[in-house]
Structures are given as C-alpha cells and as structure tokens.
Chain A
C-alpha cells in the first residue's frame, strides 16, 4: 500500500434488487492526486462513490482509511472522514441563500451567518469563484449552483473531494477554471476523484485513471502512461471504430421547416432563440450541443409540449400540404394526421408508464382508438408481443411493470412503440444513454432503417463520435441558438466542438 493513500475500497459489491451495480471493486485514492473514475453511463461510477459519501452502504467489501476499516453510514459521517461529494444533481435548498446552503449540516457552535458569509467570500476570492454569499439559490444559474456545491465542500475542509461529472453543465471557460482549482487543491495535498466519461478531460486533469465497465473493475493506470485509445478500449472492452452503417437515401425531400423558433421558460430565460432549420426525409439530422443548450426544449416545442413564444414549425405532409404545428397541443397534432414519434430523454418519467406492463405502455399511443368508452387491449397486446420478439426485450411477460426492467429493455420498449406508429418524423433524445454497446447498435440500426424508409430522423446525442458516423447532417445548438449546420460526412469533431462553444466565447468577449 502506498504511504499517501487516503481511502481504499476493497471488494465492494452493491446490488439493487436483481441488478449488480458494483461487482467486487477495488479502488485506491491517494493524497495529492487527481483520480479519474472513467466509465460509460451506467457503469457504476456514481454508485461506487455514493458508498464513499454515505448515501449507500455496500452489500459486501470494506472501506479502509489509513489502514483501518471504516463504516460510512451517512453523509455526515462521510464528512467526519473528510470525504465530500459534489453530486451531479445539486443538493441545494432553493429558498436558502448560498451561505445558508453552505453551512447546512455544520456544527460549529453558535450560528453566525455574518462570519460564515465572510468565510465564504474568502474562499471565493482565493479560488476565483463568482457567487454572491447572500443570494437565494432559486435566483442562480446552473453553474453558480455548482460553485455553491464546491464551496460547500471546501468550506468543510474536506481532504477527499469527489466530483460527479462536474463539467457536464459548464462552458469551456468554466471547465478551465474548475480544473485550475482542482490542480490547486491537489498541490494542497487533497485527494480528488472526478467521475467522468469524457476522455479529453481525463487526459487533461487526472494523474491516474480507474476504469469501470458494467459494474466491474477493469483496471487502474497512470494517465501519463496511457492514451485515449487505450482508455477507450478499457471502457468499452474492445477498440471502437464505431462502424455504423450510413447508407444514402435516394430521394430526400423537405419534411419539416422550422423558422425563428423562440421559447422562454417560466423564469423568462430564453431557452430557444430564433432557431431555424429544415429536416428532410431519409435523413438523420444529428443535434449536438453541451447539455442544456436547448435540445430538450427544441424537441418538446416541436411536439407541442413546450410553449412557443415565436416562430413556426411547418410540417409537410406526403401530399405536399403544410400544417403549422405551433400552437397545437400534442393531441391536436396527432388528430391532424401528422405522423410524429418522440423518444424523450426521461424514459420512465415521460415516455413510459413505469407501473404498467408493455401492453399498457403500447396503449399510450393508441388508447383513444376504437369506439366507445372501453379500451381495446387486443392490438396493443399483439404489438407488445411483437416488440418483445423483434427487439429481444427481456421481461417475464407483457404485463410485467416496465419500471422493473433494465435500462436497455426499457428503451427498447419505448423505441419499439414509437417506431411501430410508422412516423414520418422520428425524434430521439439521448436514445442510447446508459445502454450497453449491443443495445446501442440495435438502436442505431433501427434509426437507420427508419431513415431508409423515408422518415426524417432527429437524433439528439451527446457522443460526437456517434453523431459523426450516424447522422447525415449535424445541427449544433449553443445557448439556445443554432451555431451551425454541418455535413456529418465532411466535418470534424474539432469543428463541432468549436461550434458548440462559440456562442459562449462571444458572450465572454462582450
């Protein structure tokens, strides 16, 4: 064992029902080092770290600090051991100020908000954070909220920091700042774990990399002795040349014309800012952008789920007539005979009814069909069986609640249903997130199949490699605006990366 070892995890296993989230994992975190915990979505990184932060308890295995076995039963105990975790979903009380949030749970004698504010400001000055110590959290932007989270951990003097995908919501500038802070803390002798699936960040900031795959420990390597290709191999199990088949559709025509689409959220922030583009038949239009750039709002606005402030979405029917979709409810859209299918990001929260079986979920697209007040279950049941067979959905039966199925099977049910509606436009949001490689390819093939049937496919994705090989054109969103539309066959990753961030860069210059 190394001398500067801060925390060691040995043979950690954690199960959720049938699912083994972590299978006998060994991990060592050292002081003065940044450890990258690398793995695809659903590989068990967050679960593993949640056991260090006291959210979960391991079913098997032990955690050692300074050579002694410790039991972390609650987040409070985690802090006592100097472990602080910054979660992906911020744990902040919205009606509190940043300082109140930062001192929440601390026990250092009489509460003195003024003194605490001063200390918060001190930390902010030292690291260059920009937050107002007395501002209420509900008034803050996402990155400010993250800053509060980080200051919270620093305020508590944690010497082991765990950051769960901290850059997912940050602009490149903010990411740079964050990394600078991490380096400072490393120099300070702190142990840092950064959970990520972005290889460039791993290479940039980490000293060591531990790779997980499907809940299993794959290996730990020094960053200086490895390269992205090798890490990818460890992550996915074999070298990825994605090799997604991309045939050309012979006769593309305009299917949907979006012009000056503008959406504003409840707080008055522009989520989409005059977005214009055209989707064609027989084409996969990829949509790229850092998360929260308006992808969700775009798809929901088109499907009538998000209120549109301005602009138009014109759908061109096969007979050439046009339908204006803006202002129509999802129900109206269906009634006007617009064949639109939508695979939303939140599968169980939006696309499916978790407590119902496959049949009940097939019904979600067709429950209105048929005469009378009663539901007609025959057709959806047949469809459920068909989807189960064709997409290899593993379930005890068509009436088994889909909530209890694994992520991949849940997505197959959802995509299967949407494709079965024989849409003219198919929209998907993060369709392969959290899925294993095989299921991901199943989804790619299904989408390509749809494209060759003449469907206009909108594919919102986060993995640029996939976008580059799957899509025909790529629309890049940045801060709710269209940063550009590029030909996926000729563009480069760098070009897209630049477009994804260009708007923010401009903002900074002003």
Chain B
C-alpha cells in the first residue's frame, strides 16, 4: 500500500476524561522538562546548570530573609492573578491588569503624598487602599462599558489602557508630582503611608491570602460567581436566564480592576514606597499566565506565583554570585509557561495513531 492511500498517521480527538493522577503527572512532567530546557542558556554561558538551580533555590528560600523577598515578589503576582480569574472565567480577556495596577498605585500615591500627616496612620492606609481599588476598578470599567455597549474588542482595548496609564505616571513623575526639580522622581512616602510589616514582610501577604479565600468563595459559592460561570459558558444562556450580561460584565471588570488597583496600592505602599512609571513591572501580564495555568483555581495560584517568584528572586542571586544575567529568570519563566501551556493539550486531547483501536496518551 502506498503512503498516499492510508488513513492519516495520527489524528486528534477530544479526550472525555482523565484521571486526576495522570493530570498531575503530566503537569509535573512539563515543569521538569521546562527545567531541563532551562539548562541550555546556562550551558551557553558556561554555567553548571545544577549548581545554578542550586543557587536559585538557595537564593530564594534557604534563609528567612531570602524567603521574605521571594514572598514580596509573589504577593502582587498572586493578587493580580486573583483579579484576572473572574474575567477569564467569563471569557472576557482582560489583559489590562498592568494599567489597572498602575492607576491604583497613582491614586494611593496621591493620598500618600498629600494627606500624609493630616490624618491618622490607619485611616490614611485605608483611604489609600480604597482609592486605589476604586481607581483600578474604574480604569477596568471603561473597556467593559464599550464591550457591553458596542462589543468593542476587549483584548485590544484593555491592552491600550495599560500604556495610557503608564504614560500618565510618566507625566506625573516628571511634572506635577516631581520631587526635586529635574530628578524625574516622585518623593518617597513618609512612614505614615507605608504598610506595616508582619513577620518581616509587608502585610500585603495577609490581604492577598484573605483574597484567595474570598475569591474562591466568590467564584464557587455566590450568585455573582454563578452568573460569571454561566456567561463564560454561553452568553445566550445567560440572557435567557434573565441575566443582564452587560451589567455583569461591567461589574465583574470593576471588581477585577479594583483588586488590581489594590495590588497597585500594596506595591507602592508596601514595597516601593514611591511611584514610577514601571510600577507594575510586567506583573499584570505575568499574572495572566499564573491565573490561566492555575485553571483559575485560587489555591493553585499560590503555588504557581511562588514558583515564578522563586525563579525571579533566585535569578537575582544567580547574577550576583555567578554573573549569569538575571534575565535568565524571564527565559526560564517563558520556557516554563510554554511547557505548561503545551501540557494542557495532552490533558484535553488524545492522539489516535493509525493502527486501529490503539490510543496513546500524549
């Protein structure tokens, strides 16, 4: 029989179900493969990958002080992933968290700069948090409004909003809020406007962990969470059930933006103590991958955001100790994301090879 006249060598079919054990085996396997692939750039620079990974782990978790720094990196990632989860559940592709963080940071900074010393410490922090959340929420609401009203593409719209927000900060930095003339810097916050530390890390981690639980409940147990799930499945079904899809979209985006805005507040008030245009530093984008790879499950997000934070923190140590560029963190993160994205394919689809009846996993 000639090669022409055969059924295709391999076909694809949707998998109906897979055991939990196999699912996790595949996911863990993909992480292992990613770490192996991550050796390549290290070898290129003449670094022993095993000792490099050793340094990454050491430099991120081996001592309380390192661990604290790692957690500090993980906080905004986790917080923002939580913000994105309801949008993605609704199949509303909000990739504007970067801008929502930034706007939250801007409003928190306003109160930090101009209200500090005028009102009690706790009150100031609460005002900063609330205003940050509202600002982030409103920033997210704008694209949601146009999506609801005219079905404007939300992916592209939210993307544009990021850079508008960042541009606004750049203007504040060099203009109205500039500290020393010509410095292009906004002054550092006074102690009044800084988040207190708990166990050596700014108390943002408590806020974010509370949010993990709240978001889990919100998505799985509340009426609003149910509405979001129905819309994500079918907008027509939602309309049929009497849901006001546009309104729910706007509400969900407001909540999402508000959480991102809160994260912005945590970043400026708990970590940077000032505002600059790179305040979000890609967190809004990275957290999207965190949310997606966690299958939008709040608790899984803790693990994924920690992995990415370990990579980032560890790579900084790697740079100082073994003079490997810290950008290796981004490379390994990228490889890790690629591998984990790929592995979902083997969970959702099965390959059927030519010989009939024979099905192979992955």
Contact = CB atoms under 8 A, between A and B. Distances in A.
Q: Do chains A and B touch in the complex (CB under 8 A)?
A: yes
A375 B230 CA distance: 14
A367 B5 contact: no
B244 A331 contact: yes
A348 B7 CA distance: 33
B6 A348 contact: no
B237 interface: yes
A368 interface: yes
Contacts of B180: none
B321 interface: no
Given A367-B226, A373-B222, A404-B16, A355 B233 contact: yes
B223 A351 contact: no
Interface string A335-360: 00000001010101111111110001
A219 interface: no
A350 B241 CA distance: 9
Interface string B1-35: 00001111001001010000000000000000000
A404 B7 CA distance: 28
Interface of A: 17-18, 57, 59-60, 69-71, 73, 303, 305, 329-331, 333-334, 342, 344, 346, 348-356, 360, 363-365, 367-368, 373-375, 404
A354 B224 contact: no
B223 A374 contact: yes
Contact of B241 (A57, A349, A365, A374): A365
A374 B5 CA distance: 59
Contacts of A18: 16
B229 A353 contact: yes
Given A331-B244, A364-B230, A374-B223, 6 more contacts: A17-B14, A344-B240, A350-B237, A353-B230, A364-B237, A375-B223
A60 B352 CA distance: 13
Interface string B211-255: 000000000011111110110011011011111100000000000
A368 B240 contact: no
Given A71-B7, A329-B244, A352 B237 contact: yes
Contacts of B226: 360, 363, 367, 375
17 contacts: A17-B14, A18-B16, A57-B8, A59-B356, A60-B356, A71-B6, A330-B242, A331-B243, A331-B244, A334-B242, A349-B236, A350-B234, A352-B237, A363-B226, A364-B230, A373-B222, A375-B222
Contact of B234 (A342, A349, A363): A349
Contacts of B356: 59-60
Interface residues of B, number: 27
Given A57-B7, A373-B222, A404-B16, A364 B241 contact: yes
A68 to B, nearest CB: 8
Contacts of B239: 305, 330
B296 to A, nearest CB: 13
B353 to A, nearest CB: 13
A373 to B, nearest CB: 5
A350 B235 CA distance: 8
Contacts of B6: 71
A208 B244 CA distance: 52
Residue of A18, A331, A333, A353 with most chain B CB atoms under a 10 A cut-off: A353
Contacts of A329: 242, 244
Contacts of A365: 241
Contacts of B7: 57, 71, 73
A360 B238 CA distance: 13
Interface string B299-337: 000000000000000000000000000000000000000
B227 to A, nearest CB: 7
A383 to B, nearest CB: 15
A367 B240 contact: no
A330 B241 contact: yes
Interface string B28-44: 00000000000000000
A375 B221 contact: yes
Contact of B233 (A60, A305, A354): A354
Contacts of A368: 223, 242
Nearest to A363: B226
A296 to B, nearest CB: 12
Nearest to A404: B16
Contacts of A342: 240
Contacts of B233: 353-356
B242 A331 contact: yes
Contacts of B223: 367-368, 373-375
Interface in B334-357: 356
Across chains A and B, which 8 residue pairs bring their CB atoms closest together, nearest first?
Answer: A331-B242, A330-B242, A350-B236, A353-B233, A364-B241, A373-B222, A350-B240, A355-B233
Contacts of A352: 237
A70 B1 CA distance: 11
B11 to A, nearest CB: 6
Contacts of B229: 353, 355-356, 360
A365 B223 CA distance: 12
B213 to A, nearest CB: 14
Given A17-B16, A367-B226, A73 B8 contact: yes
B12 to A, nearest CB: 11
B116 to A, nearest CB: 35
Contacts of A375: 221-223, 225-226
A346 B8 CA distance: 34
B229 to A, nearest CB: 7
A484 B27 CA distance: 62
Contacts of B236: 346, 349-350
Contacts of A404: 16
Residue of B5, B225, B241 with most chain A CB atoms under a 10 A cut-off: B241
Contact of B227 (A351, A355, A367): A367
A69 B5 contact: yes
A303 B241 CA distance: 10
B222 A374 contact: yes
Nearest to A334: B242
A411 to B, nearest CB: 15
Nearest to B234: A349
Contacts of B234: 348-350, 353-354
Nearest to A59: B356
Contacts of A349: 234, 236-237
Contacts of A373: 222-224
A74 to B, nearest CB: 9
Nearest to A74: B8
Contacts of A69: 5
A450 B22 CA distance: 48
Nearest to A377: B221
Nearest to B8: A73
Contacts of A70: 5
